[in-house]
Chains A and B, each alone.
Chain A
Amino acid sequence: MFASAGISGTVGRAFLLVGFIGAVFGAFAAFTGARRNDPQIIRLIPRFSTLSFAAAVGAFAAMEYAMITRDFSLAYVQKVGSWSTPALYNFAAVWSALEGSILMWVLVLAGYTAAVSFWVRKRMQDLIASWALGVMFVVSAFFFLVSFFPANPFAAGAPGVLDGPGPNPLLQNHILVMFHPPILYLGYVGVTVPFAFAIAALITGRVGEGWLVATRRWSLFAWGFLTFGIALGSWWSYEVLGWSGVWAWDPVENASLLPWITGTAYIHSVLVQERRGMLRVWNISLLVATFSLTILGTFLTRSGVLNSVHAFSESSIGSWFLALFAVILVVSIGLIGWRGDKLRSPGVIDSPLSREAAFLANNVLFAVFAFVVLLGTVFPLIIEALQNRQIAVGAPFFDKLSMPIGLALLTLMAIAPVLPWRKASTETLRQRLFWPAWCGVAALVASLLLGAYGLAPLLTFTLGGISAGAAMRQVVLATRRQGWRGLVGRANGGMIVHLGVILIAVALGASNSFSKSQELSLVANVEASFSGHTFELKDVVEVRDDRSISVKALVLVDGKKIYAPAITKYTRIGMNVGTPSVRTSLTTDIYLTLEPPVRQDANEARIKVFIKPMIIWLWIGTALMAVGTVLAAFPGRRRKPTDATSAPIEVAAP
């Protein structure tokens, strides 16, 4: 029995095929052109990247068209489409399941390939660019192929289906589903660019600093979007999932965190290479690790070997990604081994008390952090393979181990920004850390006055204070010297990012340690109180639409404003989704959830109240990180060639 896939299905699949052919020809042209150094062939490359990008846009548009017109001849539309889904969520439904998210990957990757070939169009004769584009074409071809065969979004569905269940209820009740996945993908897929250039550098043997400097903004761009995407995911978790937390350490979250960790290590250690020409093997390894972790993460979460809220399905796609993962590792490690002699670094690090040594320590910590997250994520698989026994590794494990790592990183953030390159005396350190240290003392005293307790949170606040002082010191000195230009460039923008990170660390420390919660059984018009706030149930109402029935409890908080936590039953899927209601303020969030079972006729409701300090500072910190990343991408002050490499950044410091 063959069901026909309808017009958009046929068109979409044809686009995928065209895109695949474009990518294959592009790879062929790039590699042949680069090997023979033939300008005629190299000139063709941008055409192929434009072709694949156009094809990817076409395929994506065909999918959107099918989704918007509710073309139920497609299996994918049957799976996630529904007449009752509102237009916006229906648009986002395209990336709400496996096949569509791979299609989005194809689109973003083809977009990056086209953008890179546009960016290097005037420098096409630089063979490193051709090789890099070749690598990107190969990866694109792989994804076109995955989308064509095992994760085909245009497969025909069972005949006679006229309506579907719609996307997962969690993906159709908050506007963030429009933004979180695309932004995360811009980061996740974006790491392909620096990876491709690293491979190209290895192939051409030009492993010096040129390619690093050239791809600096691409790395920063990808890292920035990855950071922002992860933060949006946390925000979504807080606003939608109803457990009042921002990070659950589930495998999909870990899959996005892993490349972020190695990527963060890279954007720090790359500074050492740019400045001192050292750590070449290490930096290339970090890029390889970052890229291969995106593929590994996709394998872990999409193959069904681990299950999680986000894990979509079980399909044969796993073996494809595992194969790609193996190829990446073998090729990269082979190339690094082959170029080993050229990668030998000329320099030495003089002193453990220097900027570069601090970066090294930072890298060790990030490497251990990545190892911990990876180990915890795959440990159940290891035990299953060894002993055929099921175990779980979850948040308590990750929390316990990431806390000391986080504190150590905060310590580094306190000291590293004041360290000069090459060598520092303890005297310099004492002098430069003087005011930052007092900031730390002030933070400690303030938090004690506010009633904080416990070693870990107090250490977090103290170190946060010192780090903030150190970062501010750098920014203040730079702006005093250079005016507004003291805010841009890597070092200064980086300090703004640090300030954002510190805010997040402090807010996490406070909200994890000093949250309170209580379940309240509220009876209508009877006031209950908890932790100095009053809660009064005004009504329980039911709201129906054609996709769901929601029960809302209208709760008057502190006699001022009504908040309405809800439980929504998505009738077509038979799934209950809670929707928390949050009163946000600069100091404390009051987070209300409605607890099952609910009856709208009864004049009572069970409400769980969470009092969580400082949550909003997580989002402010995120915004600051975003601003800092943008500032860091602007060209900063060029170092005068006369400055000795050992000169401290703030040469004109008073």
Chain B
Amino acid sequence: MKSNNLVKIVSTVVGIVIAMFFVVLVVADPSQDIVAQSPLLGQPAPAVASETIDGAQFVLERRKGSWVVLNFFNSTCVPCINEHDLLVDFADTEAANPNGAEIYTIINDDSSDAVRGFFNKNGGDWQKVKDDNGAIAVAFGVARVPETWIIDPNGLVRLRITGELSPGLLSEQVNKLRDGFTS
């Protein structure tokens, strides 16, 4: 009798475990949010000092006082190419705004020549910052390009968008942050 009970207990436990396991598998969600998590959100942006492909100095800290958008980019990545027109539109709109955001491209694993060629062909006259060995990407915790980050005038990281931008997404997010911003 005792062993019968044991069999029952064991099979019940195994059954419950399998059922719970199944629930976990059913709720497992393959999709990922476009507005992504990052431990840096709300924190001061990492110190970044590098130079642009044109040889100018770029120090992120000196951009304090204005909104900054960083776009991590590689000229061969398909979503980067796809979202480029949206970035150009965004830059044009922001340039017309006195409180407009500055946009910078952070080059990810790509040569300066390739990036220059890409921008000559597809437009976009903002600065392209070199990131040798991916130090900037690591400082921000960039996983896969394209990623787009928004930094407020106080130098705090406010938003991280992973993957290809959808039309209007960037403007919408920047406007929302700007409206709610008090320095």
Contacts and interface: CB of A to CB of B under 8 A. Distances in A.
B1 to A, nearest CB: 15
A333 B24 CA distance: 20
A401 interface: no
B27 A385 contact: yes
Nearest to A300: B25
B26 A322 contact: yes
B16 to A, nearest CB: 13
Interface string B1-33: 000000000010001001001111111111100
B77 interface: yes
A385 B28 contact: yes
A105 interface: no
B164 to A, nearest CB: 15
B104 to A, nearest CB: 22
Contact of B23 (A303, A325, A333, A385): A385
A557 B18 CA distance: 55
A304 B74 CA distance: 24
Given A326-B22, A378-B21, A574-B77, A384 B28 contact: yes
B76 interface: yes
B15 A333 contact: yes
Interface residues of A, number: 19
Contacts of A390: 37
B66 to A, nearest CB: 32
B30 A314 contact: yes
A547 B179 CA distance: 50
B18 A318 contact: no
A381 interface: yes
Contacts of A381: 24-25, 28
B30 A299 contact: no
B15 A299 contact: no
B76 A385 contact: no
Interface residues of B, number: 18
Nearest to A383: B24
Interface in A290-310: 299, 303-305
Given A304-B30, A329-B18, A385 B77 contact: no
Contacts of B31: 314
Given A329-B18, A333-B15, A574-B76, A305 B30 contact: yes
Contacts of A337: 11
Contact of A385 (B15, B18, B24, B30): B24
Contacts of A318: 30
B138 to A, nearest CB: 15
Contacts of B25: 299, 305, 322, 325, 378, 381
A178 B18 CA distance: 37
A163 to B, nearest CB: 16
Contacts of A322: 22, 25-26
A382 interface: yes
A46 B53 CA distance: 70
A16 to B, nearest CB: 25
Contacts of B77: 574
B18 A303 contact: no
Contact of A378 (B24, B26, B37, B74): B24
Given A329-B18, A574-B76, A303 B30 contact: yes
A60 B37 CA distance: 43
B181 to A, nearest CB: 28
A572 to B, nearest CB: 10
A385 B22 CA distance: 11
Contacts of B29: 305, 384
A574 B114 CA distance: 12
A67 B37 CA distance: 41
Interface in A366-393: 378, 381-382, 384-385, 390
A386 to B, nearest CB: 8
Contacts of B21: 378
Given A329-B18, A574-B76, A382 B24 contact: yes
Given A326-B22, A385-B23, A574-B76, A305 B28 contact: yes
Nearest to A292: B18
Nearest to B7: A340
Interface in A556-595: 574
A399 B15 CA distance: 29
A258 to B, nearest CB: 13
Contacts of B76: 574
B172 to A, nearest CB: 25
Interface string B42-75: 0000000000000000000000000000000010
A372 to B, nearest CB: 15
A304 B29 CA distance: 8
A199 B26 CA distance: 26
Interface string A263-305: 0000000000000000000000000000000000001000111
Contacts of A384: 28-29
B155 to A, nearest CB: 27
A467 B130 CA distance: 57
Contacts of A333: 15
Contacts of B18: 329
Nearest to A386: B24
Nearest to B18: A329
A103 to B, nearest CB: 22
B118 to A, nearest CB: 12
A574 B77 CA distance: 7
Nearest to A299: B25
Interface string B121-150: 000000000000000000000000000000
Contacts of A574: 74, 76-77
Most-contacted residue by chain A among B11, B15, B30, B77 (CB, 10 A): B30
23 contacts: A303-B30, A304-B30, A305-B25, A305-B30, A314-B30, A322-B22, A322-B25, A325-B22, A325-B25, A326-B22, A329-B18, A378-B21, A378-B25, A381-B24, A381-B25, A382-B24, A384-B28, A385-B23, A385-B27, A385-B28, A390-B37, A574-B74, A574-B77
Given A337-B11, A378-B25, 7 more contacts: A303-B30, A305-B29, A314-B30, A314-B31, A378-B24, A381-B24, A390-B37
Interface of B: 11, 15, 18, 21-31, 37, 74, 76-77
Q: 4 tightest A-B contacts by CB?
A: A574-B76, A304-B30, A305-B28, A385-B24
